Amino acid sequence: MKFQGFFKSFDGAAKISGTPDTSGVMNDFSTRAFQRHDAFSLVFEGLLKVDEDGLYEIAATSDDGSIVSIDGEEIVNNDGEHAPVTKTNTVPLRKGYHRIKVQYFDAGGGDILKINIGVKGKQSLNLRNALFH
């Protein structure tokens, strides 16, 4: 996935904009490279590969806020300044590639970003093998 990194907070994940301080490619939704910054924001964009048609559950755990969009549609809105909170939603996906975007910001203090995707009742996707750019 491609990412854009900002070494500052925004007034919500939905507000992230402007010229990033850094950018590149990552194979998962990791905040590791940014944790030395007191506050930071990330936008990830890439392709999600699913191997079967199904109703997929998308779970986003974040501190602070995050938004997950698939094929241009907002699926999980976990935005706002808060301690770790998990929000989930389901979306029907056909086998193949889907555009995925994750917006995330940390306003300071602790930071967490965990995205979990899978067909309900089955094992979650290994995102390191399912994300492309």
Of the candidate spans 22-30, 69-77, 101-109, 120-128, the one that interacts with Ca ion by CB under 5 A turns out to be 101-109
Q: Please tell me whether residue 109 binds Ca ion under the rule CB under 5 A.
A: yes
Gap between the Cα atoms of 113 and 85, Å rounded: 10
Please return the burial class of 122, using the count of CB atoms within 10 Å of its CB with bins 0-12, 13-18 and 19+: exposed
Stretch of 48-56, 63-71, 94-102, 121-129 contacting Ca ion, by CB under 5 A: 63-71
Q: Which residue is nearest to Ca ion (CB)?
A: 109
Does residue 35 sit in helix, strand or coil? coil
Residue 63 found at the interface with Ca ion (CB under 5 A): yes
35 binding Ca ion? (CB under 5 A):
no
Q: Which of 130, 133, 64 is nearest to 103 (CA)?
A: 64
106 makes contact with Ca ion (CB under 5 A): yes
Looking at the Cβ atoms of 64 and 79, the one nearer to Ca ion is 64
Smallest Cα–Cα separation from 26: which of 15, 9, 42? 42
Number of residues that bind Ca ion (CB under 5 A): 4
Q: Would you say 50 or 107 has its CB closer to Ca ion? A: 107
> Where does the chain have alpha helices with state H?
127-130
Is residue 83 part of the contact set for Ca ion (CB under 5 A)?
A: no
> Which SS3 state, helix, strand or coil, does residue 12 take?
coil
Q: Which is nearer to Ca ion, 113 or 127 (CB)?
A: 113
Amino acid at 99: R
* Residues making contact with Ca ion (CB under 5 A): 63-64, 106, 109
